[in-house]
Amino acid sequence: LWWNDIKTFPNEFFIQNTKIEELNMTSMFEFDFESNLNKIHIFNNLKQLYLGNNQIPHLTIQFDKLENLEVFGFIRQDSINLKQLCIKLAYCKKLNTVHFSGNNIKTLPSEILLLASLEELNLYQNKIKVLPSDIVKMKNLKEITLIDNPIDENRIKEIETKMPKTKIIY
């Protein structure tokens, strides 16, 4: 559905499409997210959800009901409370990939550790200077993308030695 002028979904859209597995709502500038996001959980087979490039001040998604969500993309937001978002995403036990690119994130909160099944963490084009030392506890993490961040290379190399199975792209 990305890049269109849809303003809202009728209730029938949610009821008649419960088998949707992927929903890409990137760059839907006219869409009423406030009234629609709290119904996304009706798509109980949803595996991938992309909400990038939309200024969504309040994510009213009931993540605790998205038990099949594997991939979540939330990029290019003017304001993002990553700590609170990680707490909500922790309910998604199958979540293995998150994209938080272009969000002006300066620090990665320790709540990122709540995403226990995370395999891929994309933090491209943020303002991260240092990764938290606790990130080494994320045993399932296979890839971290840090391109276009003012990251300290020595710190990355230190983490790389402690996470030999994780590819860090910087």
DSSP letters along 60-129, please? ---GGG-TT--EEE--S-S---HHHHHHHHTT-TT--EEE-TTS------GGGGG-TT--EEE--SS---
Determine the average pLDDT of the residues in 25-39.
Answer: 95
Q: pLDDT digit string (tens) for 79-102?
A: 899 999 999 999 999 999 999 999
pTM: 0.95
Q: Is the pLDDT of residue 57 over 90?
A: no
Residue 99, both tokens = 């994209």
Average pLDDT, the chain: 95
